[in-house]
Amino acid sequence: MRNVDTDVLILGAGGAGLFAALHAHQADPALCITVAVKGLLGKCGCTRMVQGGYNVAIAREDSVERHFMDTIEGGKWLPDQDLAWKLVTLAIERIHELENELGCFFDRNADGTVHQKAFAGQTFDRTVHKGDLTGIEIMNRLAEQVWARNISRLEEHRAVELVRTRDGGAIAGVLMIDMRTGEYAFVRAKAVLLATGGGPTMYRYHTPSGDKSCDGLAMALRAGLPLRDMEMVQFHPTGLLAGTHTRMTGTVLEEGLRGAGGYLLNGAKERFMPKYDPLAERATRDFVSRAMYTEIRNGSVTPNGGLYISMAHLGPGKVAKDFKGMVERCADCGFDLAGGLVEVVPTAHYMMGGVEFNPDCTTELPGLFVAGEDAGGVHGANRLGGNGVANSTVFGAVAGDTMAAWVKKEGLRDPDQAAIVAAVGRCEPKTMASHGSLEPVRERLYGLMWDRVGIIRDAAGLRAALAELGQIADELANTGIADANRAFNLSWHDWLNLKSLVATSQVIAQAALAREDSRGAHYREDFPEAGALETSAYTSARLEGERLAIGMKPVAFTRVKPGQTLL
Ligand SMILES: Cc1cc2nc3c(=O)[nH]c(=O)nc-3n(C[C@H](O)[C@H](O)[C@H](O)COP(=O)(O)OP(=O)(O)OC[C@H]3O[C@@H](n4cnc5c(N)ncnc54)[C@H](O)[C@@H]3O)c2cc1C
């Protein structure tokens, strides 16, 4: 096993990971900082995929209080208010840093002010953007700045275990697999940042990048850390549905299509949203997704089993001009968005749940920090579009600052060798020479999560899902890998991905069973009411030995109580 020592180890190179690296370096350029990432730095993860933009209260008529209230009300009073406050206040600093220090060009108005567009669920047009490719602008500038500094990179290195010291009192480092050779490496670090970006890719239809398989959440769980709000999985209503042969299925057709007046039609080509909500197609993501799922369940579906979006009534020429990128994306899959019908389906997009953490990004485990989509509590039951990239950049920067201060008073710690041996054992398939196929396991997981732990849930379905997830875990443990060559062994990594996804799916299903109400992204058909807001509680899941324990913890209304407003 290769051994590496570093002061700061950052797992993941999205908005959170790269901001953390830059801030830690800025605080102390002499620090040894290492970014370890499953893909290539700057080219992987979801920050790069951000289309719509970045929420920030920089307009004169807007305020951080207003952004805060939108976040709390959108999150159905479940967000941690101190985390949400940090998000809205520090987003202003981060957007200025992105523009003035890192060199991002965002769209501007004719008078020179930054252009901010409307996003669903917000009372003010506050989404800063670069056309509809905001994430590429942010990631390219961040990556350039990281490359230009003395920051080490372990690319195509997959983190597989957070390893504690022998007395269990702190984190000692992280076990990795160098995907290029298949060798194990152990990286000792004074501070470790978990920023692997969640990603609900266990559902039949999903939007995140393929490198995201909830590894960070699964590692945190095994390390004994509590995960909160795990039942809160956000579905985006309009995922492209182009058949099982293409990875384009599940990718997002942007919200602006519904905003501009697009209609959703069932398989009989009838518009159905007005019967569910007066706002019809312009209702919030959770509401539209639920109505769509109900229509699908009622059986009036398209040839691929979904619904249609129709834009032609707005004028094909106008649609082609206003939604050029979307029209091209649909054409690639054989659909005419401007003049015809496109098949769509709700698609799993974002996990509001994650590791419980403090506003300075510390966790329960000394030396372990968390930021970005791996962290839970900022968004509660719903994430506002545009608050995702704000979250990863804000808390990534906070983590960088905190870790730089932390490592000043810390030394390197020795790992529990027995824990490393056990972790290597867990990473090894039963055999690497048999003809096992992961495809049936994956399909079973996808279908199960979509059908029973998806948009509409009930106790019977969740219990059945938990039983079947146990069987899937066993099946996976007994599935061999047909290729013994360890270098770039994609089947092996696929197997590891599925293991993380199954472990995280079990937490989602357990948390969904524990929450006996319906809030935001979580809808229980057997408990359709939201429950009293004043006594709001969040789910907290933790492994106790082999058992997953779920508790409910009260939300602390530290800044505003239900029924009140800061405005
Ligand atoms: C299609 C799409 C569009 C979106 N549009 C918007 C939008 O308009 N506005 C908005 O606010 N949000 C949007 N989001 C959400 C937003 O992308 C995320 O909230 C945010 O970018 C997450 O940042 P992150 O740094 O936590 O994770 P990511 O940017 O996803 O980075 C995670 C990193 O961790 C690495 N990694 C994963 N596992 C491991 C491992 N085991 N070991 C080492 N490295 C690992 C990955 O390779 C990657 O580098 C969108 C998401 C998608 C999928």
Q: List all residues whose CB is within 6 A of at least one atom of ligand 1.
A: 11-17, 36-39, 44-47, 49-53, 158-159, 195-197, 207-208, 211-212, 215, 252, 350, 372-373, 385-389, 392
Q: What pLDDT shows up at residue 51?
A: 85
Which amino acid type is present at position 518? S
Which ligand 1 atom is the nearest neighbour of the CA of 391? 19
pLDDT tens, position by position, 213-257: 999 999 999 999 999 999 999 999 999 999 988 889 999 998 878
Centre of ligand 1 from the C-alpha of residue 195, in Å: 9
Centre of ligand 1 from the C-alpha of residue 373, in Å: 7
pLDDT tens, position by position, 365-379: 999 999 999 999 999
Looking up tokens 């472990």 gives: 503
CA 25 remoteness from chain centre: 26
Q: For residues 332 and 369, what is the distance between their CA atoms, to the nearest angstrom?
A: 42
Q: For residues 402 and 416, what is the distance between their CA atoms, to the nearest angstrom?
A: 25
Q: For residues 26 and 8, what is the distance between their CA atoms, to the nearest angstrom?
A: 13
Q: What pLDDT shows up at residue 435?
A: 67
Q: For residues 421 and 412, what is the distance between their CA atoms, to the nearest angstrom?
A: 20
CB 513 within 8 A of CB 463: yes
Strands, DSSP E only, in 94-244? 116-117, 127-128, 152-155, 157-164, 171-178, 183-194, 227-228, 233-240
Q: Is the pLDDT of residue 492 over 90?
A: yes
Q: For residues 163 and 165, what is the distance between their CA atoms, to the nearest angstrom?
A: 7
Centre of ligand 1 from the C-alpha of residue 194, in Å: 13
CB 479 within 8 A of CB 437: yes
CB 352 within 8 A of CB 383: yes
Q: For residues 567 and 565, what is the distance between their CA atoms, to the nearest angstrom?
A: 5
Q: Is the pLDDT of residue 436 over 80?
A: no
Overall pTM surpassing 0.95 (yes/no): yes
Instruction: Compute the average pLDDT of residues 41-56.
Output: 94
Q: What pLDDT shows up at residue 173?
A: 98
Centre of ligand 1 from the C-alpha of residue 216, in Å: 12
Closest protein CA for atom 33 of ligand 1? 12
What length does the chain have? 567
pLDDT tens, position by position, 113-145: 999 988 877 899 999 999 878 999 999 999 999
Nearest Cα to Cα of residue 337 among 308, 304, 300 = 308
- Residues involved in catalysis: 236, 258
CA 536 remoteness from chain centre: 23
Please tell me whether residue 11 adopts helix, strand or coil conformation.
Answer: strand
pLDDT tens, position by position, 155-164: 999 999 999 9
- For residue 10 the two structure tokens come to 């950052």
Whole-number average pLDDT of the chain? 95
3-state secondary structure 497-553: HHHHHHHHHHHHHHHHHHCCCCECCECECCECCCCCHHHCEEEEEEEECCEEEEEEE
Which ligand 1 atom is the nearest neighbour of the CA of 195? 26
Nearest Cα to Cα of residue 332 among 324, 358, 56 = 324
Read off φ and ψ for residue 342, nearest 5 degrees: -125, 135
Instruction: Compute the average pLDDT of residues 339-359.
Output: 98
- For residue 398 the two structure tokens come to 């906070």
205, HSE (Cβ side, Cα atoms, 13 Å): 29
Q: Which of 4, 11, 35, 47 best tests ligand 1's pocket when mutated (most atoms within 8 Å of CB)?
A: 47
Instruction: Compute the average pLDDT of residues 476-503.
Output: 93
Instruction: Enumerate residues 6+ apart whose C-beta is below 8 A from 139.
Output: 14, 15, 18, 42, 47, 48
Strands, DSSP E only, in 352-486? 354-356, 368-370, 375-376
Q: For residues 394 and 388, what is the distance between their CA atoms, to the nearest angstrom?
A: 10
CA 342 remoteness from chain centre: 26
Q: DSSP letters of 136-160?
A: HHHHHHHHHHHHTSS-EEEETEEEE
* pLDDT classification of 260: cutoffs 50, 70, 90: confident
